[in-house]
Amino acid sequence: MYAYLILIPFFSVIILNLPFRTTMKKAAFWACLVLLLAQMCLVVFSAIFPGCSFFDIFKTLFKLDFTADNLSRVLLFSIALILCVTLLVQKSILGDKERIFNFVNMLLIILVGMNGIVMVRDIFSLYVFLEITAVSSFILIGFNQDLDAFEAAFKYIILSVIATALMLSSIAIILLLAGDTSFSAIASTVRLSPHRLLISLAVGIFLCACFIKAGLMPFHGWLPDVYSAAPTSVSVLLAGIATKTVGVYTLIRIVNSVFVLDRSLQHLLLALGAVSMIAGALAALGQRDLKRMLAYSSISQVGYIVLGLGAATPLGLAGAIFHVFNHAVFKSLLFVDSAAVELETGTVQMDKLSGLAKRMPVTGFTSVLASLSCAGIPPLAGFWSKLIIVIALWASGHYAYAMLAVLASLLTLAYLLTMQRKIFFGKLGQDMAEIEEAGPVLMLPALILAVITVGVGLLFPFVSILLKGNLLGG
């Protein structure tokens, strides 16, 4: 069934670019939106009715081997949700049909790439889908064709190529030792092979590549420039889900299903996670550009996810996965709000903005909600995932890391409240009296994401049952 999540977007791209292109241009936006909503419904449907084989009727036509466990399902749902938001943001910013059509094509290709990443069980196929996502991200970053965007795209592709080269070298060593590239074959080789040095080398190289792709400190060089220079809709996509799928999901999958999470690797993850969490938050405190601040905030939040993974317990893993979802929601919401601010005021320099909540109440309100969720304030969704990570660290005896996680939460609150005070509160700037709330197409995704942030937080008892029954079981 899951092969359709690759095949349908792929064939949609082909159909959209066949004859009747003019008609297709009109339909492209709606086709993409329906496809993304269908993916969300399909993922929920398959989670509720896991045994249903209704969609397997065309199985004989294609021999594509894709599977999805519960971790994959969380990612598949998040991918579709954030891509929906990205599409709506782009639509509100860009009215030109031709440009929207090109954007939809790229969005469908990146959908194929990210869906593939979360559904393959072969390390070489994983690499192929990582490449699809990287190349399409590169094009999307440069989509506005201005000098800053091209520079950011160039930085991204160079760092991505380095990560790719590292990954390919690791795959080559693994293939040499295991003779196969499937996750199961590699997992048994990693456990049983007498060539410990080569195995450690391959694992180390692969993890470095994952750290670069996830933007973890000190591998984060590309991330602030890319998030701040890319079109805001693309920043939503990259910060919300793309880097999380490419870097963080790959890291979680590989560490849990393929490599052995031994004590040295655990300490490495904990140390890097802590450095990323604290240094990212401190760097965010000093930023004046809103998008750049959100970029550093992303680095800090990825630190939390890696800390949860480093706890090496089922609870820590559940917290990490839950935080991936929550981060996708609240960070995308913050970027959607920054898109609204940029669209209406023409700037994201925080020193030039003040009192916008009076003129943009919905943007101001949703931004406060997202900030509080990001800082881990109860009862919003972000609070629960951070709490689970802190409890997992404490229960596994990593008291110092648990306390650092709480401290980083205070730093997060500090930089996000500073941002709120500068942009939305205080006296309205003289040149901002004419500013109005952004249009409904931009407000809709902001409201949907805000409802998810509040809803998941308030309904956490049900979510926790889902986490316990599905994520940990899966």
8 lies in the site for other proteins, by CB under 8 A? no
Question: CB-wise, 6 or 442, nearer to other proteins?
Answer: 6
The region that residue 353 occupies, defined by phi over 0 for left and psi between -120 and 50 for alpha, beta otherwise, is beta
- CB burial of 366-398 (b: ≥16 within 10 Å; e: otherwise) equals bbbbbbbbbbbbeebbbbbbbbbbbbbbbebeb
Judged by CB under 8 A, which of 89, 109, 166, 368 binds other proteins? 109
Do residues 240 and 268 lie in contact, with contact meaning Cβ atoms separated by under 8 Å? Answer: no
Pick the closer one to other proteins by CB: 129 or 335: 129
| Closer Cβ to other proteins, 201 or 428, answer by number | 201
Q: Does 143 bind other proteins (CB under 8 A)?
A: yes
Question: Is residue 4 close enough to count as binding other proteins by CB under 8 A?
Answer: no
118-126, 160-168, 224-232, 287-295 -> range binding other proteins (CB under 8 A): 118-126
The rounded distance, in Å, linking the Cα atoms of 301 and 374 is: 8
CB of residue 175 vs other proteins: minimum separation in angstroms?
10
Cβ nearer to other proteins, comparing 117 with 456: 117
Residue 143: CB minimum distance to other proteins, A? 7
Does residue 177 interact with other proteins by CB under 8 A?
yes
Binding of other proteins at residue 10 (CB under 8 A)? yes
6 contributes a contact to other proteins by CB under 8 A: yes
CA 266 to chain centre: 23
- Residue 194's contacts (CB-CB under 8 Å, 6 or more residues apart) are none
Regarding 105 and contact with other proteins (CB under 8 A), the answer is: yes
Q: How far is the CB of 40 from other proteins (least distance, A)?
A: 22
Are residues 101 and 87 in contact, defined by beta-carbon separation less than 8 angstroms? no
**In angstroms, what is the minimal distance from the CB of 57 to other proteins?**
19
Instruction: Give how far Cα 452 sits from Cα of 2, 287, 447, Å.
Output: 25, 28, 9
SS3 for 471? helix
Write down the least CB distance from residue 171 to other proteins, Å.
12
Which one of residues 12, 136, 164, 233 is an interface residue with other proteins (CB under 8 A)? 136
Closest CA to 116 of 161, 162, 157, 68: 68
Pick the closer one to other proteins by CB: 27 or 177: 177
Nearer to other proteins, 162 or 406 (CB): 162
Contact 204, 143 (CB under 8 A): no
Stretch 54-83 residues interacting with other proteins (CB under 8 A): 62-66
Cβ 290 vs Cβ 348: under 8 Å: yes
Helix axes 399-423, 381-395, angle to 10 degrees: 160
Distance, CA of 276 to CA of 301 (rounded, Å): 8
102 in contact with other proteins (CB under 8 A):
yes
The single residue among 37, 158, 176, 260 that binds other proteins, judged by CB under 8 A, is 176
Peptide bond into 19 cis (omega under 30): no
Residues that bind other proteins (CB under 8 A): 6, 10, 13, 62-66, 102, 105-106, 109, 112-113, 116, 120, 122, 124-125, 128-129, 131-132, 135-136, 138-139, 142-143, 145, 176-177, 179, 195, 197-198
